[in-house]
Amino acid sequence: MVPLIFNHGREAYRRNSYLVIYMFYKNVMFTVAQFWFGFENAFSGQTLYEPFLYQGYNLVFTAFPIIWFSVYDLQYTKSEFLKNPSLYSIGLNNECFSTIAFFSMIFNAIMNGLVITFLCFFCEDGYVVPANAKNADFWFDGTMVYAATVLIVNLAILQKTNAHSAVSIFWFVGSVGSFWGYFYLENLFSLFPQLYEVFIPFSIRYETWLILGLSCWFTQF
């Protein structure tokens, strides 16, 4: 019983430390892009994301992978913990929940937001939605920032996960896919004018996928 308690405590410390820091990380990255965008709009207060799509970020698009990680992820097997007591040193040395670990993650989020905003707003040509001749440049770019952020923060937890399984992959794919599903549903109704009839033009452009790929590459490696 005692070894099991020690194992649980060590893993609970590691998982919950990352949970707390990750929650700051993903929300800072989501909001700091609007700060960087402020240099483009003279800090006018213009929002970067469509209001209804905005609400799904913490509720659906980034919620479940971190929940699964925080409850079920195991860095080593129980037998490995019993054979190697030095694995417990992370708690004694405060390796997972230190000031350096916290601010390193925050700095990473700020720089990621800068990279994403630059790629999405300054590395592509403008585009006009053919159906209604509405210039969708701004909402294209804002939604691309949103899509890149969802991909990156979910990839971060996927990379951090040690005990991969069909469930962890399901939550990753489901979280990212739910963003595209929500986006598609809003695109169908004129009630959401910012994204009305934008999904297809957004999705078929090679620039969209190139920029999303570059955003993930530059922020993950």
Instruction: Please indicate, yes or no, if residue 81 is contained in any of the structural domains.
Output: no
Instruction: Please indicate, yes or no, if residue 14 is contained in any of the structural domains.
Output: no
Place of tokens 């040395």: 93
Question: Residues of 36-60 as b/e, b for ≥16 C-beta within 10 angstroms?
Answer: bbeeeeeeeeeebbbeebeebbeeb
Instruction: Please indicate, yes or no, if residue 10 is contained in any of the structural domains.
Output: no
Residue 124 has pLDDT above 90, yes or no: no
Instruction: Please indicate, yes or no, if residue 5 is contained in any of the structural domains.
Output: no
What domain range includes position 209?
25-74+110-220
Compute the average pLDDT of residues 103-130: 82
Instruction: Please indicate, yes or no, if residue 183 is contained in any of the structural domains.
Output: yes
Instruction: Please indicate, yes or no, if residue 37 is contained in any of the structural domains.
Output: yes
Residue 2 has pLDDT above 90, yes or no: no
Lowest mean pLDDT among 1-10, 129-138, 154-163: 129-138
Q: Which residues contact 28 (CB under 8 A, 6 or more apart)?
A: 106, 109, 110, 113
Lowest mean pLDDT among 25-39, 115-129, 194-208: 115-129
Instruction: Please indicate, yes or no, if residue 90 is contained in any of the structural domains.
Output: no
Compute the average pLDDT of residues 166-180: 95
Instruction: Please indicate, yes or no, if residue 97 is contained in any of the structural domains.
Output: no
pLDDT the model gives residue 128: 46
Record the pTM. 0.89
Residue 94 has pLDDT above 60, yes or no: yes
- Structural domains of the chain, count: 1
